[in-house]
Amino acid sequence: MGHPFTKPNVLFFAAMLACCAPAQAVDTEAAQTLARRNSCFKCHDEGRDATTFKKIANKYRGDAQAETKIIKHLASNPQVTFLDGSKDEHRSVKTSPADDAAQIKNLIQWVLAH
């Protein structure tokens, strides 16, 4: 019988631990501050022009690729259609320091937690 810690087994268990590790806690205050700085609430709040954060979270619930899809959406400045039918370019999220992936990931996780 082979040793349990052969390279394929170690790689398998490392991958299992990585995917099953508890998610890092969302920093709600930091996410809300970033959302305010980027005027996200102007459109995504209840009673506004765009889909609410709660509806976005519901749309992606159970989707293993949710975070990747939202990152792509935020980075590509797609044309979006508002609830009234008008269209505009969605602005990308600006962070300080610039392009801080951790801040963007935290914001996305906060949105998905709604």
- Tell me the CATH number at 43: 1.10.760.10
Between CA 42 and CA 63 the distance in angstroms is: 26
Determine, yes or no, domain membership for 52: yes
Looking at residue 23, its pLDDT comes to: 58
Percent of the chain with pLDDT over 70: 80
Q: Has residue 91 got a pLDDT over 60?
A: yes
What pTM was computed for the model? 0.75
Check whether 21 has a pLDDT greater than 80.
Answer: no
Higher-confidence residue: 56 or 17?
A: 56
Number of independent structural domains in the chain: 1
Evaluate whether residue 31 is within a structural domain. Answer: yes
With respect to residue 98, please indicate whether it lies within any of the assigned structural domains.
yes
* More confident: 9 or 49: 49
Residue 78 is assigned to a structural domain of this protein: yes
Whether 68 maps to a domain, the answer reads: yes
Report yes or no on 2 lying in a domain: no
What is the domain extent for residue 78? 27-112
